[in-house]
Each structure stands twice: as structure tokens, then as C-alpha cells.
Amino acid sequence: MSLCDLTAHELHKLFSSGEASATEIAEAHLERIEAIEQEVRAYVTVTRDRLLEAAAAADKARQSGEVIGPLTGIPMAIKDNIVTQGVKTTCASRILENFIPPYNATVVDRLYNAGGCLVGKANMDEFAMGSSCEHSHFGPTHNPWDTGRVPGGSSGGSAAAVAAGEAVFALGSDTGGSIRQPASFCGVVGMKPTYGRVSRYGLVAFASSLDQIGPFTRDITDCALVLNAICGHDPRDTTSASEPVPDFTESLVPDICGMRLGVPREYFEEGLSKGVREAVNSAIELLAEMGATVEECSLPHTRYALSTYYLIAPAEASSNLARYDGVRYGYRASGARDFVDMYKKTRYEGFGPEVRRRIMLGTYALSAGYYDAYYLKALKVRTLICKDFDNAFDKFDALVTPTAPTVAFSLGEKAADPLSMYLSDICTIPVNLAGLPALSVTCGFNEGMPVGLQLIGPHFAEGTLLRLGYALEQSTDFHRRRPPLTKTQEWDRNMEEAPDNAV
């Protein structure tokens, strides 16, 4: 198997033993990018020289006898709404097409300090507004499992890069499912940590009360390693939690005997595809066979989550995106008659249609005469959704649901139907409204495409979710499968012999 198909902890063993250098690992990933990036289009920017320089520094550190951390020399991708000093951060938007930040996000500094090597900035839906990675100024990203389908969004580039072997791990941001849904579509692990667990300093804001940075990895072990590097209090982020950060690798035990799991019936209603339902139910049965207690439960206000989210998130976006006015930085339209005309032309030309749609929705919800009827009411319903989860966690250690109601859909299939697109996040949005941690792990295949299982925990229970995900992973082989775009003849044989939901 290629170096590009290994996990971070597998590569660490090769690197620390001298069997493979960081430079060899970096060059293998650059070769993979050169071979398939035209089909996948996971990146906005590839930082070839930075990657090779960082890899050379990692090799020098190992040769000099320095302590080598588990992420040292490991190629990583960063979603293009997380700022990187000296490297363009565009948010996949024309309005920031040439923006080069003067500083790093906290998570980027922490990964650099852990030895991570930047491959590039991953494509995304513009300003993280989308569920398919089609709303990008630089064109859509394609799913490595089937390049005629979407990778999910908004962090589609990050998920596709990890799935296709163009990076070992990646960072994304999750406002309503933008890590977990693409993780499900691309067959990788995706974690949305508790709100405040990971610093948002340097994350370009979409909806400030919902946004959270998290990792994409190939397995649960790598997820724990990346969380160890990026979690922790940051005084530069006023929403950063001071909760102590455990060593998440200590949660990687396969024993889940006695754990109490709730299965919310609202997540299994109309709209869930038959193939996804079967794969998720098979995973739930497996968890029960491994000793977990499984019981159906109810989160009655789930039905209001989608409409609540699409009032709160656009309202916050309309405020956050007001700074892009063509005056201070970013794109400025030419040929304007006066200041007001310049402002209008800049925002119309600089923002894509989905971003403009959400700004208008949010501005309307906040406007005089409608604030109480829409935004204030949405905040009240959000409180009820939070209480539903609190009540559930009085009884259960975690909740188990589908990550998405379907597998990845075709490119262009929902582009002209925003409501249908929004429904892609129906299983993930409630988690963001409540600020909870949630993990997506592959639990099967349908139509040859990955299916994600979502594990939801109470605040700061990332370790519980990793334990459940790890146990499931140890009893299945889904995390070892690779997309047909990259798999070898050996993997071809394995895929042909294994049924979609084999465990």
C-alpha cells in the first residue's frame, strides 16, 4: 500500500524507526496530488515548497535525536477559512481571492508546534455556507469514491483530501454539520468537538455561536492524536473553554460493555434512505452485541431544528459578513458611481448566490418588526432543543443516529433547490444548536458509497465518543477501505469480496 494510504500513527512508526523519511512521505503525497487532483479538486492552494521545507526540518530533528511527536512530519490540509500566515485564505470566495493573512489561527500554530506539515488549503463552500462543496468560487470538489458525486460540505475539500490520500489528516469547521456530513459522504472520521473545546481564533466567522473547528482523519486513533494537539483553552478566544483536556488516546479501548446508548426516533423518520437505515441499524446492533445497552428515546423538538438554524445562522452571518464592504480589504468592484454604488456592486460581485441568499435571510430576520417574530423565537426554540439533549443525557452516555439521511448525491442534483440541499444537514444541525460534541464514523456502504454513523455526547464527552467509535472500528473493516480512485489491485480484490455492510 502507498504511503498516501496509511494513517498518521502508521506513518509515525515508519518515520520514527527510519523506514521512511518525512521527505519521502511528503513527496508521495505531492505525487498523489499531481496524479488525481484534477479529478478531485480538493485544494484551493497547494503549498509544495512549505511542505518540503517542513518535512526536511522533521527529518533533521529525527536525525539529531530530538523527541518525535506522533504528528511530526505528517502532511495535513487546512480548510481555507482558517487563517495561515503568508498563505492565501480565501474562504472560497471572490471577495477574499487574494487575501494573505499576517498571522496564524491558534489551531494552525498548535499543529505546527506538534510537527504537522502543511500540504495546502482545502476547498469549501463559500464562507462555509453549503452542504455539497459546489458553492465555491474556484469550482466544486468531487467525491473520490465517485467523482460524479459531491463530497459534502462545507468542508468538502478537507474530507476529500483525506479520503483520496492527498493529506493524512485535515482540519475543517462545523457550523451545522460541515465536518460530519462530508466525513460521512467521503468515508472518513469527522469530529465536531464541544463548542469552546477548540479555539476559534483565526477561524473566519460564519455564525459565531455555532462555528467549531475539528479534524478529519482516516481512523479514530488519528482523531484522538489531532484532538490532543488542537484542544485547550486560548485566551485570545473569549468563547474558549477552560475545561481540562485529557489525553484522548486513553479513550481508545474496545470495551463498551455497560455503556448506555439512546436511539432518538426522530432521526429515523421519513427522508432517511433505506440503505442508510440498514447500515446504521446494523451498526447499532453490533454495539449492542458488544455489551452496550441500547434503548429508543425521543428528542421532541428536533423537528424545529432546521428552521431554527436557518434563522440563527443567517442572522449571525449577516452581521459577520458586513465587514466585507470593499473599503478595508478584499475585492472592490470597479466603475461605481459613488460610495453606495461601490458597496452594492462589491458585495453583489464578490459574494456568490448562496452567500447573498443567507445574508438577505439573516438581515430580514433581524430587521425591525420581524426580530421578535423570527430571531427571538428561534433563540427560544434553541433553548428547548438544548433541554431535550440534557434530558436524554440524564439517562444515556451517548446518542446514536445517522450522520446524513442519504449517501453522497450527484453533482448538480440539488444545486437549484436550496431547501433540498438544507435537508442534507437535518441530522447534524441540532448538535450545533446545543454546542455538543459529535463524531461521524463509517458504518457501512450503500450504492458503493460510504454511510456515516453519528455518535453524540454531552458537553466535553469527546473521550466517550472516541471509545465508542474505536470499539466499532475494531469490529469492522470500513476504515481500511480506500476509494477506487486510489486503491491498489489488492484493495480491488478485497472490495469485490466484501459485501456493503460486512462487519
Q: How many CB atoms lie within 10 A of CB 379?
A: 14
What's the pLDDT score for residue 494?
Answer: 40
Q: Tell me the CA distances in angstroms from 288 to 244, 258, 293, 337, 452, one per residue in order.
A: 31, 10, 6, 68, 18
Averaged pLDDT for residues 13-29: 98
Question: Can you tell me the distance from the alpha carbon of 307 to that of 419, in angstroms, rounded to the nearest whole number?
Answer: 11
Beta strands 75-79; 117-122: pairing state: parallel
Q: Record the cell numbers describing residue 502, joined without a space.
A: 460486512
What's the pLDDT score for residue 419?
Answer: 87
What's the pLDDT score for residue 491?
Answer: 32
What's the pLDDT score for residue 499?
Answer: 45
Averaged pLDDT for residues 163-182: 98
Averaged pLDDT for residues 285-297: 98
pLDDT category at 340 given cuts 50, 70, 90 is very high
User: Does 500 have pLDDT greater than 60?
Assistant: no
Q: Record the cell numbers describing residue 72, joined without a space.
A: 511530526
What's the pLDDT score for residue 270?
Answer: 87
Cβ-contact 168, 74 below 8 angstroms: yes
In residues, how long is the chain?
Answer: 503
DSSP letter at 115 equals T
Domains delineated in the chain = 3-303+382-497 (3.90.1300.10)
- Does this model's pTM top 0.75? My answer is yes
∠ CA 76-80-82, rounded to 5°: 85
Instruction: Give the tens place of pLDDT for each residue, 416-464.
Output: 898 899 999 999 999 999 999 999 999 999 999 999 999 999 999 999 9
Cβ-contact 192, 174 below 8 angstroms: yes
What's the pLDDT score for residue 329?
Answer: 81
User: Does 390 have pLDDT greater than 80?
Assistant: yes
What's the pLDDT score for residue 93?
Answer: 98
User: Does 497 have pLDDT greater than 50?
Assistant: no
Instruction: Give the tens place of pLDDT for each residue, 65-120.
Output: 998 999 999 999 999 999 999 999 999 999 999 999 999 999 999 999 999 999 99
Q: Please count the helices (runs of H) and the strands (runs of E) in the chain.
A: 16, 11
Question: Can you tell me the distance from the alpha carbon of 463 to that of 208, in angstroms, rounded to the nearest whole number?
Answer: 25
User: Does 487 have pLDDT greater than 60?
Assistant: no
Question: Can you tell me the distance from the alpha carbon of 336 to that of 211, in angstroms, rounded to the nearest whole number?
Answer: 34
Element (H, E) at 34: helix 22-40
pLDDT category at 493 given cuts 50, 70, 90 is very low
Q: Record the cell numbers describing residue 353, joined without a space.
A: 448566490
Averaged pLDDT for residues 263-276: 96
Average pLDDT taken over every residue of the chain: 95
pLDDT category at 485 given cuts 50, 70, 90 is confident
Averaged pLDDT for residues 288-306: 98
What's the pLDDT score for residue 490?
Answer: 34
Instruction: Give the tens place of pLDDT for each residue, 22-53.
Output: 999 999 999 999 999 999 999 999 999 999 99
Query: Which residues are tagged catalytic?
Result: 79, 154, 178
What's the pLDDT score for residue 328?
Answer: 84
The answer for residues whose C-beta is within 8 angstroms of residue 405's C-beta and 6 or more apart is 271, 272, 273, 276, 423, 424, 426, 427
Label residues 166-199 b or e (16+ Cβ within 10 Å = b). bbbbbbbbbbbbbbbbbbbbbbbbbbbbbbbbbb
∠ CA 143-146-147, rounded to 5°: 60
What's the pLDDT score for residue 110?
Answer: 98
Task: Quote the percentage of the chain above a pLDDT of 90.
Answer: 93
